[in-house]
Amino acid sequence: MDVPARAHPYPAPAKLNLDLRITGRRADGYHLLESIFCLIDLCDTVWLAVRNDGEIMLHTPIEGVPSENDLTVRAAKLLQNHTGCGKGVDIWLEKRIPMGGGLGGGSSDAATVLIVLNALWGCGLTRQQLIRLGVQLGADVPFFIFGRNAFAKGIGEELQVFDVPERWYVVVKPPVHVATAKIFSHPGLTRDSKPSIMPSFQNLQPFRNDMQAVVFQEYSEVLAAFEKLLPYGKPLMTGSGACVFAAFDSSEEAYNLFRQISEEYQAYCVEGLGVHPLFDFRPETAGESSSG
């Protein structure tokens, strides 16, 4: 990817849902969730270069997705419109997080754009203001702006810091794209899990994903990948799929499985993160130059 020297790279990490329960449904059709969100060190890279002419340009469009529909462009325009900022940005996106896997790649890319441009454009929004803005782009965006492992409620926008032990994960991407809308509308989906009173890593065990059974029913490829991981612990699906993962206490254990599973599947051996790489991002750390 050809990126000019004036652009700077910013990380956009993926997430896993270590636990996901559907506790109800709002009148507008949105599902009420409870979930443990965990950041992992599988990252996209968002390259940004500030422009002074107000234009927002995506130089790496995804095939079949109009640039104006890309979450990075929508995030920049949302911030621009909300704050009245007259600056623009050039965007290059280097994807490593697989699309359609339940890892939140698109949402994380959007969150990184909001975090960085809020600083580089001098918008001055607080983290909480950015979270309220981000929910307009998608239910996972607030978590990435929040920037810490979290217990999430509501549609994903009610967040509290959640202590997740240091662990390693092997993430497997089956060769299928799960249609999230299809899963949420499925008549067999569990929608009445009991809400947690005092959530903690221990008292929520055993972890589960209320979408998993329906996805297995509709997508045999996801079930097959899950069954491959079964001998190595207690695998789980993340989000609405398609990715499944297994957790380990050491990098050696994780890498041993990764070496085996990666011969058959697209797979990743990753470490959990305690905080987002941009959690303490400030404009003076960017070294950003303007153009346009």
CATH number at residue 264: 3.30.70.890
* 128 domain-assigned: yes
Rounded Cα distance between 81 and 192, Å, is 38
Torsion of Cα atoms, 26 then 235 then 109 then 122, to 10°:
80
Q: Is pLDDT above 50 for 272?
A: yes
**Sign of the CA dihedral 151, 157, 160, 165?**
positive
Q: Distances from the Cα of 146 to the Cαs of 157, 162, 232, in angstroms?
A: 9, 12, 32
Give per-residue burial for 179-198: e unless 16+ CB within 10 Å, then b.
eeeebbeeeebbeebeeeee
How buried is 52 (Cβ within 10 angstroms: 0-12 exposed, 13-18 middle, 19+ buried)?
Answer: exposed
Region 83-111: what's the mean pLDDT?
96
The pLDDT value recorded for residue 122 is 95
Is the same domain home to 148 and 174? Answer: no
Decide if 91 contacts 58 (C-beta within 8 A). yes
In the block, residue with structure tokens 């782009």: 137
Rounded Cα distance between 280 and 121, Å, is 16
| Beta strand ranges found along 26-75 (DSSP E) | 31-51, 56-58
Q: Which of 164, 84, 150 is nearest to 122 (CA)?
A: 84
Is the same domain home to 176 and 134? Answer: no
Region 214-227: what's the mean pLDDT?
97
Is the same domain home to 121 and 227? Answer: no
Is the same domain home to 21 and 157? Answer: yes
What pLDDT, in 10s, does the model give residues 38-74? 999 999 999 999 999 999 999 999 888 899 999 999 9
> Which region among 19-23, 24-28, 161-165 has the lowest average model confidence (pLDDT)?
24-28
Active-site pick, 19, 140, 210, 228 = 140
The pLDDT value recorded for residue 283 is 63
When pLDDT is cut at 50, 70 and 90, the band that residue 20 belongs to is very high
Q: Is pLDDT above 50 for 287?
A: no
Is the same domain home to 122 and 260? Answer: no
The pLDDT value recorded for residue 284 is 53
The pLDDT value recorded for residue 127 is 95
Tokens of 185: 């509308």
Is the same domain home to 19 and 137? Answer: yes
Domain count, the chain: 2
Active-site pick, 15, 87, 173, 228 = 15
Region 257-284: what's the mean pLDDT?
93
The pLDDT value recorded for residue 291 is 47
The pLDDT value recorded for residue 292 is 53
* 114 domain-assigned: yes
Q: Is pLDDT above 90 for 1?
A: no
When pLDDT is cut at 50, 70 and 90, the band that residue 288 belongs to is very low
Check if 140 is active-site. yes
Check if 19 is active-site. no
What pLDDT, in 10s, does the model give residues 171-218? 999 999 998 889 988 999 989 899 887 788 888 889 999 999 999 999
Strands 244-248 and 168-173: antiparallel
Is the same domain home to 149 and 32? Answer: yes
